[in-house]
Chain A
Amino acid sequence: MSTHNIQFELNGQKRTVSVEAGRLLIDLLRYDCGLTGTKEGCSVGVCGACSVIIDGEVTSACLTPAVFVDGSSVTTVEGLAKDGELTPLQDAFIRKGGFQCGICTSGQLMSATALLQSNPHPSVDEIKAWMMGNLCRCTGYYQIVEAIQAAAEASA
């Protein structure tokens, strides 16, 4: 197996790491970088628990070879809050009860963050269409949609 030195920006900090060809981004983040906020659920790109933002686009870390992020900027849930200050979206998830067990929450937050970056004031239908790739096994979908709406209103 070949190894590769890759450079990327992780939550605003430059990183240089050596990865094997078969290393996936989800494992690079969790095991090599110690950022366990990103969860692995289905391992086939369906559940959305491993959603991260790469160069502005929400992506499945479980389907992304680590070598793919060479030269890119990666944001995980650990990169949302700045100096202990939650983003309006994170705050809205708490206020609206946008989670129950929490396993899907990092992915929901990353997906919704990407949504609000590309469409700051989405309609309910737009929220549902975008977020359908993030499954909540507790089925707390209404509160997640409400949280995203509330975050969008807060940034009006």
Chain B
Amino acid sequence: MTTFDYHEPASLAEALSLFKKYGDDAQLIAGGTNLVIMMRQGLVQPKHVIGMRKLRELRGIAPTAQGGIEIGALTTHREVERSAMVARFFPALCETFGHVATVRIRNQATIGGNVVHADPAQDPPPMLLALNAEIVVASDGKSRTIPTTEFFRDFFEVALESGEIVTAVRIPPQPSGVKGTYVKFLPQSKDDYATVAVAVVMKLGSGGTCEDIRIGLGALGPTPLRAPKTEAALKGKKLTDKIVAEAAALVRDEVDPLDDIRGSAKYKREMARVWTERAIKSLIK
């Protein structure tokens, strides 16, 4: 661990002011499950670390006036997984957070830390993409929202300007009858990062016609991805086995995976097809 000064602001205003003052020399720390590892390995060497743990206002889950929910940046994965409000709003979101690592890590890791870390193999981002979530960001006296489709820029890179702090993840209301699922292909161990992961949020109309579908993909490119061509091939169609299989085959060309310890790029493209097909079919019954 390199040497640094630790600061523990008591309010968001104080945190913003410290973050502005120290600029690129500073790192924010929430749960610490990513940053501590990166500091121990020397990958990140901040001169100042700003601890967010006292900022109670950034913790908790609340309904929005529009009928969606807003999850404070310091809410832990475990809190989202076990939230009765989230379960009522969209059960598959609880399930997605329950897939992350282990209970111990979910007790520590926060949703804000998760989205800012931006490892493309993380579990929540594909589901957040499929739910059209927005990232709520504060900076010196201002606040803005960034759609998740624009937030993730590259491996470990997000669309935050210097001095901006993520304060919440906002999920818009979902039309009635929308269902979702998150499937994670784990050939090694249950607590591993996904080899490929697929989130599907879908509304079926009468007679099995797909009224709307959003597909989020994890571990299949430099960022979590949507699959617009696959989605277009399903929208408005009656979802027969043949239509689903043909659409899922398109996903192979919508992804850009790397060869790594969890499989070759070629293998992951094929697994993306298989798991996209399975995820969609699981919502058809």
Contacts and interface: CB of A to CB of B under 8 A. Distances in A.
A136 B32 CA distance: 25
A59 B104 contact: yes
Interface residues of A, number: 28
Interface in B175-203: 189-191
B51 interface: yes
Nearest to B107: A57
A111 B6 CA distance: 29
Contact of A132 (B4, B78, B190): B190
A48 B104 contact: yes
Give the interface residue-count category, chain B.
20 to 34
A119 B106 CA distance: 17
Contacts, number: 78
Contacts of A46: 191
Interface in A54-69: 57-60, 62-65, 67-68
Contact of A68 (B37, B51, B102, B191): B51
Contacts of B101: 45, 133
Contacts of B51: 65, 67-68
A96 B277 CA distance: 44
Given A45-B33, A65-B29, A130 B6 contact: no
A15 B4 CA distance: 24
Contacts of A130: 103
B53 interface: yes
Contacts of B189: 132
B144 interface: no
A58 B190 CA distance: 19
Interface of A: 1-2, 4, 21-22, 24, 43-46, 48, 51, 57-60, 62-65, 67-68, 111, 114, 129-130, 132-133
Given A64-B108, A67-B8, A132-B191, 12 more contacts: A21-B6, A24-B36, A45-B101, A58-B107, A59-B108, A63-B108, A64-B36, A65-B6, A68-B51, A111-B103, A111-B104, A132-B190
Interface of B: 1-6, 8, 29, 32-33, 36-37, 39-40, 49, 51, 53, 78, 101-105, 107-108, 189-191
